[in-house]
Structures are given as C-alpha cells and as structure tokens.
Structure 1
Amino acid sequence: MTREFAFDFESRYRLPALLFGVTPSTALVTVTDDELLVRFGPWRLRTALANVARTQLSGDYAFHRTAGPAHLSFADRGITFATNSRRGLCVSFVDPVAAMEPTGTLRHPGATLTVTDPEALAAALQP
C-alpha cells in the first residue's frame, strides 16, 4: 500500500520556496510498504522504513530558519523540508541518509517534514 502526504504550504513560504523550485506539485512525501520517499523540489530523500528509528511531532519553527530551500542544521546535520512555521514531523533514522547534495557524502540523522497531516505520517512510518 502506498500513502502520499502533501506539504502544508503557509502563504508566506510560497514565494521563497518557488525560487528554489519547491511547489505543491514538486513536494510530496510517499510511504510504501517498505520505503520512505521525500521529494522537495530538486531534493530527494529515500530510505527503507526499517531505517526509521522514531518520529516526533514538532512545530513553531522560525521563518528565517525554514523558508526557502532544504535547510541543514549545523547542530546535528539534520535536514528540514519546511513549508510552514506551525507544525511538522521530525523523523530520526537508524543510519543517516543522503538528501541535500548529489554525491551523498553529507548524511542526515533526521529530517523534519511539514506535511498537512503529521500525525498520519507518523502512523504510516510505524512498523
């Protein structure tokens, strides 16, 4: 079974996202029976569901830290795919994953995804 989760675009995020090719038609999270796939404009994240360690609802993000392209946390190397400041889901991985740069050298221990229904995404990622 495949489930798709659209990103929740807050109006003030639309223009900065558009400048980097991130639109409602180019941003989507897909969960299959065995994989998590994230498309965020030109950025991609793909990993086995077995690689998902845990999830946590989060929110109240700073606009200047989340608007525009994918963001890298210098504190923990996590990646953020944000389209709103209100709420999202933090996904932690057993083994870090590639997503930000094409060579896959930089790996992320977690990803924050601001989808329209983070609770449903969390449920879909459970074993």
Structure 2
Amino acid sequence: MLRYGIGGAGLALMGLGAWLTAAEPEPLGVLVWLAGALVLHDGILAPLVLGVGLILVGRSRRGLLRGASVVAGSVVLVTLPLLLRPGAPPNPSALPLPYGRNLAIVLAAVAVVTGALYLVRRRGAPVRRRGAPARRRKDFPRR
C-alpha cells in the first residue's frame, strides 16, 4: 500500500513539473537545461564515480577515501557553476570572493584531514606479522 502511495505522489510531482514547465515563457530553455543535466550526470558524473569506486576497491581504508571523495565532489559540484559562469555577475556583491582559490583551499583541507585520519587509524590498528593468523575472539566457543 505504501508503495502505491509513494508512486502516486511521484506521478503527481512529475505532472506538476510538466505543468510548470509548460507554463514557463520559454519552456524550451528549461528542457535544454534538463537535457544538459541528464547528459552531465549520466555521461560524466556517474562514470567518474564508478571509476573512482573501482580504483578504491582494493584499498585498506576505502571507507575513509570514499568519504573524502564524497565531500570533495560535493564541494566541487556546488562551486563549479560559480567558477564557470561567463562574464561578470550582474550584481558585484553576488560573487565577491575568489572562488577558485577558496575551492583549492577547501580541497587541500579535505586532503589534509583525510591524511591525518588515515595516519591516526593506521597507528591505532593492531600490527600483525605477515602470514600470522588473526587472533580469535575468546567469547565464541571453538567448533
């Protein structure tokens, strides 16, 4: 029953979106923007995320690297439209900061924090000799 309710709500929102698009003075511009977003997501962003995931498969701290990748990707995704906007903004106070420099600073901070967390976790991890079996937990009986 919940599935049908959520599906109905989704169809209603899709209908609202189509109605609002048709009510726009230039619906073609909205459709071009939507097509561009689809191409950007399916043609660039999704393959990039999958590629990074394939690279991280064999890493020992892949959870940490995934988290850093999500944070860095989100920051770039939010900042990219401000960086790629052509020309000067109509309102000078809209973009008063150097977004390129600030993006580099934030990405460097993400890299430094990730590196520090990696070192802390690595230092706290138990050291095993190569080829030595893992210690068995004592609270489980042997079979």
TM class, shorter-length? under 0.3
Select the structure that is richer in strand: 1
Query: TM (normalized to structure 2)?
Result: 0.20
Structure number with greater Rg is 2
Structure with bigger RCO (C-alpha 8 Å, 6+ apart): 1
Select the structure that is richer in helix: 2
